[in-house]
C-alpha cells in the first residue's frame, strides 16, 4: 500500500546494565511488559524500575501476532477491560508521539451457522449495553465492507452475517513496542535485554529480587509479563498458574495491491485475516493442540486454515504464502486473562491472554501498573484474579476470544 512507514531515529532506547536494585522489576520485555512499565512511570510516578527481557525487545508474541485490536467481548469484566484498552489505543499515537499506524478499519466476526448467529446477536446486544460500538450486519453488508468475500450459500460454511465493530482495527505491532520503549526510556525506565530471570529471591513470603544470568537484582516489587513462559516463571517463584502453553501459528502472503479493506475473523472456520500496510495478507491459524514452547507448529494446521481462507476469499487461491511462524500462547480454561496479585507478597502476574494479547496491551499495562503500584487491583482487572478459578467466578469468553483455543 502507499502508506509510508514513519521515520524513527536509529536508537530509541539505551541498553543499560542492570542496577543492583529497583523499586520494581518487570519480567518480560514484550508489549505488555513495556506498557506496564510505561503506565507505572507515567501514572504512578515509579521510574526507578527495570524491564528484563531474556531475548531482544518485543521478540516474542509482540513480534508474532496478527495485530488485531477490538473490544467486542461478551461479559461485563471483559468489555470493561478491552474497551478501556481500545480507548487507550485511540489516544496512544498522540500520547506516545509515535504514529504506529493504528488503523480503525473495523473488525467483523463472521457467523456461519444458526448457532453462530444467535451467539453473535447476543454478544452484539451485550456489547451495546456496555457501550461497545458493536452491530449486527447482514451478508450483503459484509460484502459491501469487504467486496472480495464469498457470501454465496453454496459453500461449506456460508456467511450468515457478522458482528461488526467499526472502531476496531489493526496497528503496526513492532512500532507499538518501540513507541512504548522510547517513552519508558525517556522517563528513566531501564530496558535490559539479554537478561534472563533464572530464579526469585524471597524473604519469607515476600519477593525481594530476582536472579538473572547477569547477576542478582533486588526489587521492591516484581511483576511477571512472561506470556507463554508464565508457568515457567511461576514455578521458579513457587506458585501455580492455571495456564497451558500452546504453539499458535500465523502467516503472511507476499505483497499485494489493496484488496482487503477491513479485518475479517471467523471463529467457526479458524481464520482471521487483514491486509497490512505494506500489502501483505496477514492471517492467523488455530493453536496446535499440544503443549509446546517451540515457537513452531505443524503444517496441517496452516493447511486447514488456508483451506478455510480460500473458501471465504476465492482470490486468495492465487496468493503465495511468503512466511509462516509460531508463537507460544498462554491459555486459561475460561479464555480470559489473569491480571492479578499472587500468593507471594509483592509479586504480581499478568498472563493468560491466550491468542488475544496484542489488543489488550495498553489495557493490561494500565490495570497491571495500578495493581503493582497500589498492591490492589484496579476495578477493571479485579475480576481477572487467580482466585476466580477457586471461587468459580469464571469469565468465559470462548465465544468472543476463541478463534483459536
Partner 1 sequence: MMLIECPWCGPRNETEYGYGGEAHVAYPADPNALTDNEWAKFLFYRKNPKGLFAERWVHSAGCRRWFNAVRDTLTYEFKAVYKPGEPQPIATTNAPAQGGTK
Question: Which residue ranges make up the site for partner 1 (CB under 8 A)?
Answer: 229, 231-232, 235, 240-245, 289-294, 298-300, 332-333, 389-391
The DSSP output letter for 85 is H
Nearer to partner 1, 190 or 330 (CB): 330
The DSSP output letter for 288 is P
CA angle 275, 276, 282 (to 5 degrees): 60
For residue 165, what is its C-alpha cell?
465493530
Nearer to partner 1, 249 or 274 (CB): 249
Closest CA to 225 of 332, 346, 365, 355: 365
- Pairwise CA distance, residues 103 & 70, whole Å: 11
- Pairwise CA distance, residues 228 & 310, whole Å: 30
The residues, ordered by sequence, that sit 6+ positions from 235 with a Cβ below 8 Å of its Cβ are none
Nearer to partner 1, 123 or 229 (CB): 229
Nearer to partner 1, 78 or 231 (CB): 231
Closest CA to 72 of 169, 146, 149, 172: 169
Closest CA to 350 of 369, 375, 333, 334: 369
Helices (H), 157-281: 173-186, 230-237
Q: Whole-number minimum distance, CB 387 to partner 1, in Å?
A: 9
Q: Label residue 20 exposed, middle or buried (CB < 10 Å: 0-12, 13-18, 19+).
A: exposed
Nearer to partner 1, 203 or 240 (CB): 240
Contact 368, 380 (CB under 8 A): no
Nearer to partner 1, 228 or 363 (CB): 228
The residues, ordered by sequence, that sit 6+ positions from 186 with a Cβ below 8 Å of its Cβ are none
145: phi then psi, degrees, rounded to nearest 5: -75, -30
The residues, ordered by sequence, that sit 6+ positions from 375 with a Cβ below 8 Å of its Cβ are 341, 346
Q: Whole-number minimum distance, CB 47 to partner 1, in Å?
A: 33
Q: Whole-number minimum distance, CB 72 to partner 1, in Å?
A: 26
Nearer to partner 1, 122 or 323 (CB): 323
Nearer to partner 1, 157 or 389 (CB): 389
The residues, ordered by sequence, that sit 6+ positions from 87 with a Cβ below 8 Å of its Cβ are none
Nearer to partner 1, 300 or 318 (CB): 300
For residue 375, what is its C-alpha cell?
498492591
Q: Whole-number minimum distance, CB 254 to partner 1, in Å?
A: 24
- Pairwise CA distance, residues 85 & 181, whole Å: 18
Integer Rg of the chain from CA: 21
Tally of CB atoms within 10 A around 148: 14
Amino acid at each position: 500500500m502507499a502508506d509510508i512507514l514513519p521515520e524513527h531515529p536509529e536508537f530509541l532506547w539505551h541498553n543499560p546494565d542492570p542496577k543492583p536494585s529497583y523499586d520494581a522489576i518487570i519480567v518480560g520485555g514484550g508489549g505488555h511488559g513495556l506498557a506496564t512499565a510505561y503506565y507505572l512511570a507515567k501514572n504512578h510516578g515509579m521510574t526507578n524500575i527495570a524491564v528484563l527481557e531474556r531475548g531482544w525487545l518485543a521478540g516474542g508474541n509482540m513480534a508474532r501476532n496478527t495485530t488485531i485490536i477490538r473490544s467486542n467481548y461478551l461479559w461485563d469484566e471483559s468489555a470493561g477491560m478491552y474497551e478501556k484498552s481500545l480507548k487507550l489505543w485511540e489516544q496512544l499515537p498522540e500520547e506516545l508521539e509515535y504514529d504506529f499506524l493504528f488503523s480503525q478499519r473495523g473488525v467483523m466476526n463472521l457467523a456461519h451457522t444458526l448457532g453462530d448467529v444467535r451467539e453473535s446477536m447476543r454478544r452484539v446486544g451485550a456489547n451495546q449495553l456496555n457501550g461497545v460500538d458493536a452491530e449486527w450486519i447482514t451478508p450483503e453488508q459484509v460484502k459491501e465492507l469487504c467486496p472480495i468475500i464469498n457470501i454465496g450459500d453454496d459453500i461449506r460454511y456460508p456467511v450468515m452475517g457478522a458482528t461488526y465493530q467499526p472502531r476496531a482495527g489493526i496497528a503496526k505491532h513492532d512500532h507499538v513496542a518501540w513507541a512504548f520503549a522510547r517513552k519508558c526510556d525517556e522517563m528513566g525506565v531501564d530496558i535490559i535485554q539479554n537478561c534472563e530471570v533464572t530464579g526469585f529471591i524471597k524473604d519469607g513470603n515476600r519477593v525481594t529480587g530476582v536472579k538473572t544470568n547477569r547477576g542478582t537484582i533486588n526489587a521492591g516489587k516484581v511483576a511477571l509479563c512472561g506470556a507463554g513462559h508464565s508457568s515457567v516463571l511461576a514455578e521458579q517463584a513457587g506458585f501455580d498458574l492455571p495456564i497451558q502453553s500452546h504453539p499458535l501459528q500465523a502467516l503472511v502472503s507476499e505483497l499485494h495491491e489493496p484488496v482487503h479493506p477491513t479485518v475479517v475473523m471467523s471463529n467457526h472456520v479458524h481464520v482471521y485475516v487483514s491486509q497490512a500496510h505494506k500489502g501483505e495478507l496477514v492471517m492467523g491459524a488455530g493453536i496446535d493442540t499440544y503443549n509446546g514452547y517451540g515457537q513452531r507448529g505443524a503444517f496441517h494446521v496452516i493447511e486447514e486454515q488456508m483451506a478455510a481462507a480460500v473458501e471465504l476469499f476465492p482470490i486468495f487461491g492465487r496468493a503465495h504464502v511468503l512466511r509462516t511462524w509460531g508463537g507460544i500462547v498462554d491459555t486459561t480454561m475460561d479464555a480470559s486473562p489473569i491480571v492479578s496479585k499472587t500468593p507471594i507478597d509483592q509479586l504480581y502476574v499478568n498472563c493468560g491472554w491466550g491468542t488475544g494479547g496484542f489488543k489488550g496491551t495498553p489495557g493490561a499495562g494500565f490495570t497491571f501498573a495500578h495493581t503493582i503500584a497500589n498492591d490492589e487491583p484496579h476495578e477493571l482487572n479485579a475480576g481477572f484474579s487467580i482466585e476466580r478459578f477457586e471461587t468459580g467466578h469464571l469469565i468465559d469468553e470462548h465465544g468472543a476470544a476463541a478463534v483459536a483455543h
